[in-house]
């Protein structure tokens, strides 16, 4: 990632900075890995819905994965073609379903039997047939933070394997839904690829099983979750897409004409974004030195919510003198802390710090806590 320091110095902080060249390199690398395969990537909009980023992603030819009617609206307004939109979520309201039906999207990822019945009824009222994929909860442990594990029996997502036959039979009976496929998403920030291997085994078995009952599906959607390197963002600025897709290329036995869909969010946008923050005060306390910055948990909640650590850099400090700091925000909560005992070039009031890998689940998860305004945004073309 390139930091245009002089431009950044002129910005109001806190500020989300995006390096579009890095996003483009990431998208090029991703597209190279799927070329020639019946693979379709839907960018998971929940990671970052900034229109400038969406525009790049659309131009690179990707589809989108939405989890609310408002996300669907955002991407429709951004020019994404409805045939490239999938819509998941355990609690789709009638309003959201109706809006999405009106836009004739590619597929609903359906998470429960009552939802399937409601989509059928609402589609019938419009004289439409909604394309659906059944989200299956495969009970596979993604070995990630418990708040972002989604594929275990105790999670609220999807339909458990023992209930699948009943739901598939019902989908085949209903007149206003068309069963197109099956959908999975086992968790986020996966750095160990073995859960994906297990997922391939589960899917192979399932497809054979369904085929023996005469059910042929056009779509298999394996969701997202590919993790990124938060500790070394410069060494791994583009994620290992080759390694990720090779799991599916070798492990999954797609049938003739079957399409494999992915919903990657973090791996596409995380590394091209950084939260730039100014040091307000350096406070020397009894046992600690605090670098108090003008960004807080309202701007980037990941450290407070998931105990996540983002690499912190002093962009304007002198590399020859270093010191340890707790880097904390101004918000009245002790969890408003970006890093403890961070070794940084000596920090002085006014220095600019970069909190790295903040392109995913940063800006979009911001809140107005303490009546703070949303952070500024600066994009480098």
Residues 74-113 that bind ligand LLP (CB under 6 A): 88
Between CA 140 and CA 151 the distance in angstroms is 6
Comparison of 263 and 336: residue with beta carbon closer to ligand LLP = 263
Least separation, in Å, of the C-beta of 263 and ligand LLP?
Answer: 4
Least separation, in Å, of the C-beta of 238 and ligand LLP?
Answer: 15
- Residue 228: name the closest of 357, 141, 334 by CA: 357
Check binding of 188 to ligand LLP (CB under 6 A): yes
| Residues 50-56: contacts with CB under 8 Å, at least 24 apart | 50/16, 50/18, 50/363, 50/364, 50/377, 51/78, 52/18, 52/20, 52/377, 52/379, 53/18, 53/20, 53/23, 53/269, 53/272, 53/359, 54/78, 54/80, 55/79, 56/20, 56/23, 56/24, 56/27
Check binding of 185 to ligand LLP (CB under 6 A): yes
Comparison of 87 and 325: residue with beta carbon closer to ligand LLP = 87
Residues 4-63 that bind ligand LLP (CB under 6 A): 44, 46-47
Site string for ligand LLP, 259-278 (x = CB under 6 A): ----xxxxx-----------
Least separation, in Å, of the C-beta of 266 and ligand LLP?
Answer: 4
CA 330 → CA 266, 348, 359, 371, distances in Å? 27, 16, 22, 12
Site string for ligand LLP, 197-226 (x = CB under 6 A): --------------------------xxxx
- Which contiguous run of DSSP H or E holds residue 75? helix 69-77
Q: What is the DSSP track for 159-185?
A: EEGGGHHHHHHHHHH-SSEEEEEEE--
Check binding of 306 to ligand LLP (CB under 6 A): yes
Check binding of 189 to ligand LLP (CB under 6 A): yes
Comparison of 47 and 375: residue with beta carbon closer to ligand LLP = 47
Binding site for ligand LLP (CB under 6 A): 44, 46-47, 65, 88, 148, 150, 185, 188-189, 223-226, 263-267, 302, 306, 361
């Amino acid at each position: 990632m390139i930091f245009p320091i002089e431009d950044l110095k002129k910005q109001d902080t806190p500020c989300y900075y995006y390096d579009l060249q890095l996003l483009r390199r990431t998208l090029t690398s991703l597209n190279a890995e799927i070329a020639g395969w019946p693979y379709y990537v839907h960018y998971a909009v929940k990671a970052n819905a900034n229109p400038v980023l969406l525009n790049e992603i659309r131009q690179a030819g990707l589809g989108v994965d939405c989890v609310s009617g408002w996300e669907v609206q955002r991407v429709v307004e951004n020019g994404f073609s409805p045939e490239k939109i999938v819509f998941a979520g355990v609690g789709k309201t009638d309003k959201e379903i109706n809006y999405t039906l009106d836009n004739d999207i590619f597929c609903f990822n359906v998470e429960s039997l009552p939802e399937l019945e409601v989509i059928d009824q609402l589609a019938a009222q419009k004289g439409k047939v909604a394309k659906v994929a059944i989200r299956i909860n495969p009970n596979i442990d993604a070995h990630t933070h418990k708040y972002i594990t989604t594929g275990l029996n105790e999670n609220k997502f999807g339909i458990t394997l023992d209930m699948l036959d009943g739901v598939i039979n019902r989908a085949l009976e209903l007149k206003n839904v068309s069963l197109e496929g099956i959908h999975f998403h086992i968790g986020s920030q996966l750095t160990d690829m073995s859960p994906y291997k297990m997922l391939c085994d589960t899917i192979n078995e399932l497809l054979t099983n369904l085929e023996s009952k005469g059910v042929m599906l056009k779509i298999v959607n394996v969701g997202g979750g590919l993790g990124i390197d938060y500790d070394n963002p410069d060494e791994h600025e583009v994620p290992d897409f080759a390694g990720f897709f090779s799991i599916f290329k070798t492990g999954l036995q797609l049938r003739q004409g079957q399409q494999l869909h992915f919903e990657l969010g973090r791996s596409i946008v995380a590394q091209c974004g950084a939260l730039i923050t100014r040091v307000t005060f350096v406070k020397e306390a009894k046992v600690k030195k605090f670098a108090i910055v003008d960004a807080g948990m309202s701007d980037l909640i990941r450290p407070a919510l998931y105990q996540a650590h983002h690499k912190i850099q002093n962009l304007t400090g002198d590399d020859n003198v270093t010191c340890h700091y707790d880097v904390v925000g101004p918000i009245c909560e002790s969890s408003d802390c970006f890093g403890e005992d961070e070794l940084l070039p000596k920090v002085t009031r006014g220095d600019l710090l970069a909190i790295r890998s903040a392109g995913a689940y940063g800006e979009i998860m911001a809140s107005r806590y303490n009546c703070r305004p949303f952070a500024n945004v600066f994009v480098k073309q």
